[in-house]
Amino acid sequence: MQLPRLFRFWAERIFAPETALKRKYDAFRALLSHDKRALECITEIEEILYGQIPADWARASALFRALSWSLSRLVDSLCAMNPADYGELPGRLDELLAEVGAAFAEPARESGPPYVLSLAEAAARPELCGGKAAGLGAAAALGLPVPEGFALTTHAYELFLSRAGLRARLDETLSRVRVDEPEDFDELCAMMQEAVEDAALPVEVAEELGTAVAGLAQKGVTLFAVRSSAVGEDGRLSYAGLYDSRLFVPASEVPAAVRDVYLSKYSPRAVAYRVRYGIPDDEAPMAVAVVRMLDPAASGVIYTDDAPPAQNNKAAPDGDEPCPEHHMAVYAVSGAGEKLVDGSVVPLTWRLAREDGRVVEGPAPDAQRAAPAPLAAHLTPGRLHELWRHGMALERGLGGPQDVEWCLDASDGLYVVQSRPFQHEEPATCDPAAEVCEDIANPRLIDGAASASGGVAVGRVFFPGRITDGRDIPSGSVVICRTLSPKLASALGRLTAVISPAGSRAGHFASVAREFGVPVLVGAPSAMQVLRPGQVVTVDADSGVVYDGVAEPLRRLAGRERKRPPSRLRERLSPVLHALSRLTLTDPGSPDFTPRGCASLHDVVRFCHEKGVAEMFSLGGKGRGLGQARPLETDLPLSFYVLDLDGGVDPELAGESVPPGALRSAPMRALWDGLTAPEISWHEGLRHLDWERFDRISGGILSLADKSLSSYALLSADYCHAMIRFGYHFATVDALCGPHPEANYASLRFKGGGADFDRRLLRLEYLREVLTRVGFEARTKGDMIDARLSRRPEAETREALRLLGLLLGQTRLMDMALSDSAQALHMAEDFLARHAPSLSLSRGDVL
């Protein structure tokens, strides 16, 4: 206990009660501010945890720091109101902050040697060398041909960040990232990339890198491929095409190419991918694979165990039987494989029997004729069989189906250049012969396209032109583009499907789209002509069809999501979620409603708010009664108490009770005018108080007149804090209304109800529609709405408060009557038609 504070508290209470009350009022105003911010922090952390806000772990960490600060000041504000009663609370807060803070502790970051490892060593150290380098090392260990090279470890990357002072800068920028805010998101990614670009490799790293490059040069290597190999890449998640690689790099430029790979870690598409999978930036450090650059005559991809959607199960070459459901797929292009994986060409495709490598289906004759002559010559039956052997050896040796990149060099040598786990696609939703598809009457705009990623989607056609960052793609778009650029990955949250004349299942974006369940059709050249911007279409990528309009039989299949690996962000936070946000202190009258009874940080917020309000009403101690709080005289079925803090009630007109005419608080008078408007119908005999608490704890002990069940308001001349209890829901109105517009505000928090959860949400939909239409900014979370209007002239603020009173009076039991969104919106329109003409609220600045 701080003795000076305690002494001042008792001295003022005995000798200067007015000063004590003013000090308590000031502390309460501070308490309300910190209460609001603490709840906002808890809510946003939860929204990040459950994927409602697509943000990096750094944002959650920053929110926890802000939460810790707000909670400390919240507790301090309550203790300032009554230092005698809450001495245990700071200690309990420290315990809870330590428990939750363990999840936010900075991970250990190793930045010492080794900085370079051989590919053989990399195979056993994926945590140091990343998935790509480890995969190459594992392939070599199986006796398969891989280009010689080495791995630059994650320790080198961490030293690079540390030496340049980048980690704190990157974390601060990442804490502001939200993938659903494209303009800010792209700008923040550019800031991070610029910071990385300006940094130099540490001397130790540059020296070891130079030695390793020189060693390969002595073996005749003149050009290098410098490829990303981040931790987690090519593992349970593909990261396909999200990080950059540099090809045909001379020895002198390898250090610059390494920095380019580091820089690509913060490209919009890479950051968006990690955020949407809940992968903290600090859990994806970058390693780099540096290997001999091959001179490719042909390149391609193998899916060792592929089961494409139904429309690809065409007849076998002899026409007697369909292709097997599972087979090996081989994709090939001439020259380097970049144009295959970047989705800019249509490859030649073979499907091989998994059991013996025989060709089950080859490229269409037209495709073979269109391909460069050397390509067909390179892909002989013997070469296809060799690819099959390599693919099956990798599948057996690495423990599951593989996505393999291969290269045939100019000297006819076949190499494995990458191998990662193949992510199986979920089964097709609709076979062309199925009854649901036969029932579709919508015109077919495209038929017979190939599926690169299955699924069904409904959306509006959008032609993005040249794809750079995806920021211009509207939410809900069916994107029509000439190539399947990996840059589309940055817009995954906004597009519902993609259609392209080029590309294939082997493209990098196709891999990412399959992970996220985004339908993709390729081999659809007519899309550029038959589809119109803004046209609503249904894309059935399982059947290779695009329908005009909404195909109702398929609507229920739209938006299907793949099962994703558990979010690492959620795995980090889940063990402490109970101590962060679970609310256990629900009954202020319970003997457990104490500082030691706080089992979570949310409990601390609830405890401080309830006790702060109780302190203002002098309900915090036994025998003190209601102090200066007096009942408000009203014919309404409300039990309402007011406490005058400073000029909120006319002392000449008020006695033991307060008539409405004695109210001098500008915001309270406006709110009361709305609540008592003649157009509101109040049910006689139905008394509005805290029914939930009454049901829970009364048991015949409490009467309906008990003041702890009542509504109340704390008033000054320009301030009002009102808690209005309507049975099973409550509304809190907090407002400042005076001659200074920049300080004025009117805020509403509305939560709960006696109806089921869906009906409570409908009432919030009604409230949000009305409030936003007249200038409030409103946000909903669960069955709670927060609305705020700020910086308005005094007259407009009064009108806003009268509107809140009208709304609260008219929506008391609305949740019981609402049945659907259309009804809620119709009722909102009716309310606005009757009351908006009398309002002069302008749609100015809102906060």
For residues 89-104, b (16+ Cβ closer than 10 Å) or e, as one string?
beebbeebbebbbebb
Confidence of residue 195 (pLDDT cuts 50, 70, 90): very high
Q: What is the dihedral of CA 399, 294, 238, 232, to 10 degrees?
A: 80
Residue type, 41: C
Q: Which residue has the higher pLDDT, 35 or 181?
A: 35
783 has pLDDT over 80: no
308 has pLDDT over 50: yes
CA distances from 80 to 83, 87, 94, 309, 622 (A): 6, 11, 18, 67, 19
Domain limits of the chain? 3-105+582-610, 116-292, 296-421, 435-555, 629-838
Best-predicted range by mean pLDDT (92-96, 654-658, 768-772): 92-96
Best-predicted range by mean pLDDT (135-144, 303-312, 615-624, 823-832): 135-144
Helix-then-strand count for the chain, H and E: 29, 27
> Which of 111-120, 198-207, 310-319, 413-422 shows the lowest per-residue confidence on average (mean pLDDT)?
310-319
Section 591-617 average pLDDT? 86
409 has pLDDT over 50: yes
Q: Which residue has the higher pLDDT, 72 or 716?
A: 72
CA of residue 273 relative to chain centroid, distance: 11
Section 198-207 average pLDDT? 94
Q: How does DSSP classify residue 320?
A: S
Under CATH, domain 435-555 is a member of which superfamily? Phosphohistidine domain (3.50.30.10)
Section 743-758 average pLDDT? 74
393 has pLDDT over 90: yes
Confidence of residue 722 (pLDDT cuts 50, 70, 90): confident
Q: CA-to-CA distance for 612 and 36, rounded, in angstroms?
A: 13
Mean pLDDT, rounded, of the chain: 81
For domain 116-292, give the CATH number.
3.30.1490.20
316 has pLDDT over 60: no
Asked whether the beta carbons of 632 and 660 are under 8 A apart, the reply is yes
Residue type, 188: L
What's the pLDDT tens digit per position in 453-495?
A: 888 989 999 988 665 556 678 888 899 988 887 778 777 778 8
Q: Which residues contact 334 (CB under 8 A, 6 or more apart)?
A: 297, 298, 371, 372, 374, 375
What are the start-end ranges of the H helices in 457-526?
A: 508-516
213 has pLDDT over 90: yes
Q: CA-to-CA distance for 747 and 812, rounded, in angstroms?
A: 18
Q: Which residues contact 489 (CB under 8 A, 6 or more apart)?
A: 241, 242, 269, 272, 273, 509, 512
Asked whether the beta carbons of 140 and 282 are under 8 A apart, the reply is no
18 has pLDDT over 80: no
H/E element, 540:
strand 536-540
CA distances from 60 to 172, 173, 298 (A): 11, 13, 46
What's the pLDDT score for residue 154?
95
Strand positions, DSSP E, 362-470: 402-409, 414-421, 444-447, 450-453, 456-462
Class of domain 296-421: alpha beta
CA distances from 152 to 242, 259, 322, 344 (A): 19, 11, 47, 30
For residues 322-354, b (16+ Cβ closer than 10 Å) or e, as one string?
ebeeebbbbbbbbbbbbbbbbbbbbbbbbbbeb
What's the pLDDT score for residue 803?
92
Q: CA-to-CA distance for 710 and 655, rounded, in angstroms?
A: 19
Best-predicted range by mean pLDDT (285-294, 437-446, 585-594): 285-294
Section 109-120 average pLDDT? 92
Q: CA-to-CA distance for 361 and 306, rounded, in angstroms?
A: 13
Q: What are phi and psi of 225, to 5 degrees?
A: -105, 125
221: its two tokens = 């290597």
Q: CA-to-CA distance for 344 and 759, rounded, in angstroms?
A: 50
24 has pLDDT over 80: no
Q: Which residue has the higher pLDDT, 743 or 400?
A: 400
178 has pLDDT over 90: no
> Which of 6-20, 159-173, 347-361, 619-633 shows the lowest per-residue confidence on average (mean pLDDT)?
6-20
CA of residue 353 relative to chain centroid, distance: 42
What's the pLDDT score for residue 324?
43
What's the pLDDT tens digit per position in 676-699?
A: 888 877 665 444 444 344 344 334
Q: 540: buried, middle or exposed (CB in 10 Å: 19+, 13-18, 0-12)?
A: buried
Q: CA-to-CA distance for 604 and 610, rounded, in angstroms?
A: 10
What's the pLDDT score for residue 321?
43
236 has pLDDT over 50: yes
What's the pLDDT score for residue 163?
94
600: its two tokens = 């979570």
432 has pLDDT over 80: no
What's the pLDDT score for residue 468?
54
The reply to whether 116-292 and 435-555 are identical in fold is no
**pTM of the predicted model, to two decimals?**
0.70
Residue type, 331: Y
Section 629-646 average pLDDT? 84
What's the pLDDT score for residue 315?
40
Q: Which residue has the higher pLDDT, 399 or 240?
A: 399
State whether residue 419 is helix, strand or coil.
Answer: strand
